[in-house]
Amino acid sequence: MRHLLSIEDLDRPAIERIVAQAGRFAEVSDREIKKVPALRGRMVLNLFYEASTRTRSSFELAAKRLSADVVNFAASGSSVEKGESLKDTVLTLSAHKPDAIVLRTPWAGASELVSGWCSAAIVNAGDGKHEHPTQALLDVYTLRERFGKIDGASIWIVGDVAHSRVARSNILAFQRMGANVTVAGPPTLIPRAIEELGCQVRYTLDELHGADVVYALRMQRERMSETWVPSLREYAAWYQINGRRLTPNQVLMHPGPVNRGVELSGEVVDSPQAVITAQVEAGVVVRMAVLYELLAGAREPRALSGEIAADQRATGDHRPTAEQRATGDHRPAADQRAAAEQRATGDHRPTADVASVSGASPVVGGPLT
Ligand code: MLT
């Protein structure tokens, strides 16, 4: 994978691979020292032309946990305010030789344009109303953590679909993972011909009780040039997800930021059915996996399996595997398994491999290989 511009670039195996790698990075996030050397010496440039809390902070954290150097650029306070174009800004910052540029802009298609202007890997972190692929990946990750699989699940995406890049990426990603997707909202906020993406359309929430997952969208007023609903109060009366509409077995998602009292009532935001915080947590590990895939994984496609470690044992090549570099654990695979077993069993006597260099007595039963 050279860039991540759209979910259209990813088939199901690619989504599965990123989600699986994110799962491995989740283990790193549970460690006391949450850092691995996988991208040491690489540079990630976060180029944000739009406000962001979750996406920007999680990309920054993801790059730092992988030991990359990070440069954060926000359009406000930069030469953009003096009239510098996107192209000139990209060319200027490219002089620092970033390996990846994480780009958020209000312009649909901007990421694709930028991918033609420089040699860095481009990650689309939201381009206008078009796409937000890492949001879709972290949502797939969150649902997989919750349900194990998404195949056959009924997912309703409710609200301002017309102005939502999240809706477009998520319709594609959820369907690729086997879900049945329905979009629902006022007719003015559902784009014409959206069924061509394979989803169903509803203009009321009468059948919402049949959904396994309710994915609410914010009313994206910053992208509206006209009035699309009579008032927010009327919108909430018809489409707000609240305790009356959400049934106890449904999972509630939202990409954030939430407008409490508009698309969601306060009670459902704070209910155990809401996985909104889990989505934010997933953002870091999924973005680690995306950066890793673009900057390290692509060079060593077998790095995500145990095959290289097996080859090493056979050939006597003891350089660290890509997975070992990713997780920062440079012990041989057998030692890692032994240590994991010791953690699991609470048996802290040295393993045979440690014993052989330290002179201590080995674990009963010999080496755990
Ligand atoms: C986005 O940037 O699209 C957000 O994650 C969703 C929103 O702004 O409502």
Q: Are 208 and 93 found together in one domain?
A: no
| Ligand 1 shell residues, CB under 6 Å | 126, 132, 135, 165-166, 218, 220, 255
CA 178 to centroid of ligand 1, rounded, Å: 24
Amino acid sitting at position 85? S
Flag whether 332 is in a domain: no
Instruction: Tell whether omega for the bond before 350 is within 30 degrees of 0, i.e. cis.
Output: no
Residue 95 has a pLDDT of 93
Under a CB-based contact definition with an 8 Å cutoff, are residues 353 and 334 in contact? yes
Q: Which residue has the tokens 């926000």?
A: 74
pLDDT cut 90: percent of the chain above it: 71
Q: Are 149 and 259 found together in one domain?
A: yes
Residue 84 has a pLDDT of 87
Q: Are 116 and 54 found together in one domain?
A: yes
DSSP β-ladder status, 213-216 and 69-74: unpaired
* H/E run at residue 124: strand 121-127
Which band of pLDDT confidence, cut at 50, 70 and 90, is reported for residue 297? low
Q: Are 141 and 176 found together in one domain?
A: yes
Q: Which of 260, 152, 245, 255 is nearest to 207 (CA)?
A: 245
Flag whether 97 is in a domain: yes
Q: Give the atom of ligand 1 at the shortest distance from the alpha carbon of 164.
A: 3
Distance CA 265, CA 188 (A): 22
Q: Give the atom of ligand 1 at the shortest distance from the alpha carbon of 218.
A: 9
Distance CA 57, CA 65 (A): 12
Residue 354 has a pLDDT of 27
Q: Which of 201, 206, 204, 148 is nearest to 177 (CA)?
A: 148
Residue 82 has a pLDDT of 79
Which band of pLDDT confidence, cut at 50, 70 and 90, is reported for residue 153? very high
Q: Give the atom of ligand 1 at the shortest distance from the alpha carbon of 126.
A: 2
- Domain with 88, as residue range(s), is 7-133+280-298
Nearest CA to ligand 1 atom 9: 218
CA 257 to centroid of ligand 1, rounded, Å: 7
CA 171 to centroid of ligand 1, rounded, Å: 15
Q: Which residue has the tokens 């890692």?
A: 336
CA 100 to centroid of ligand 1, rounded, Å: 22
Report, as an integer, the average pLDDT of 68-91: 88
Q: Indicate the DSSP class of residue 248.
A: T
Last residue of a domain, one of 298, 333, 356: 298
* pLDDT (tens digit per residue) in 118-131: 999 999 999 999 99
Flag whether 361 is in a domain: no
* pLDDT (tens digit per residue) in 225-274: 777 888 899 999 999 999 999 999 999 999 999 999 999 999 999 999 99
Q: Which of 84, 35, 3, 72 is nearest to 288 (CA)?
A: 35
Q: Are 270 and 289 found together in one domain?
A: no
Q: Are 73 and 205 found together in one domain?
A: no
Q: Are 164 and 263 found together in one domain?
A: yes
Can you give the CATH number for the domain in which 147 is found?
A: 3.40.50.1370
Report, as an integer, the average pLDDT of 279-292: 97
Q: Give the atom of ligand 1 at the shortest distance from the alpha carbon of 166.
A: 3
The vertex-27 CA angle with 346 and 59, nearest 5°, equals: 160
Flag whether 355 is in a domain: no
* pLDDT (tens digit per residue) in 303-345: 433 433 443 444 344 444 445 545 555 444 444 444 444 444 3
Strand, helix or coil for residue 194: helix
* pLDDT (tens digit per residue) in 165-223: 999 999 999 999 999 999 999 999 999 999 999 999 999 999 999 999 999 999 887 77
Which band of pLDDT confidence, cut at 50, 70 and 90, is reported for residue 74? confident
Distance CA 85, CA 39 (A): 30
Q: Are 101 and 41 found together in one domain?
A: yes
Beta bridge pairs of residue 260 = 264
Residue 190 has a pLDDT of 97
Flag whether 336 is in a domain: no
The vertex-84 CA angle with 80 and 88, nearest 5°, equals: 120
Flag whether 36 is in a domain: yes
Tell whether the model's pLDDT for residue 360 goes beyond 70.
Answer: no
Read off φ and ψ for residue 136, nearest 5 degrees: -65, -40
Angle between helices 12-29 and 276-295 (to 10 degrees): 110
